[in-house]
Amino acid sequence: MTIGLVGRKVGMTRIFTDDGSTLPVTVLDVSDNRITQIKTPEKDGYAAVQVTFGKRRASRVRKPLAGHLAKAAVEAGRLLKEFRAKAEDLANLKVGGKIGVDLFKVGQKVDVQGVTIGKGFSGVIKRHHFSSNRATHGNSISHNKPGSTGQNQSPGRVFPGKRMAGHLGDVTRTVSNLTVVRVDPERQLLLVKGAVPGSRGRDVVVRPAAKV
């Protein structure tokens, strides 16, 4: 089953195993995943389930989306995500229902998608890990500069995609094959081993690992 859950990153902590060793884990809140639409091959051309997470004020929801959610009798959420699946996997799901954390089990491999922390405008050393020039012997305050970026007469331009200074972070990234360490059905929490992209409180998408 390729159906996943939408939630938010609570933060990082650690837990202790039976032998006394410690594991760094990220706590993910995947509670209250509400089904807003179920797509079928007959009607939509493919099978998928659409879920929403969180809460959003009615005044912040556009009218087309508000009508879509009203048709499903689902409260508006701050995040809407669609998961492709097989038609037989959607047989037990219904619009307006919920998907819980019991979708995953301890030891399962998952892929977690999030938005990385934005770091603003950064130079080439921080952004692309360039090595700095030496700061002595005639170097005139250019030891942390990118160096020459131009070309000769042919082609006489800078190629697109050249690694230069610019905006760093704030991009969508997926961490693959994280292990589910603990599942908390009561609080609808998921604990995965390792780090997850984004800061505390940011939205994340958890789905079964595509490449185990």
| Residue among 119, 127, 115, 126 nearest 199 (CA) | 115
**Exposure string (b/e) for 56-83, b if CB count within 10 Å is 16 or more?**
eeeeebeeeeeebbeebebebbebbbeb
Against a cut of 0.85, is the pTM above it? yes
115-152: pLDDT as tens digits: 999 999 999 999 999 999 888 998 888 899 998 888 88
Q: Is 198 a residue whose pLDDT tops 90?
A: yes
- For the segment 25-47, the average pLDDT, to the nearest whole number, is 94
96-117: pLDDT as tens digits: 999 999 999 999 999 999 999 9
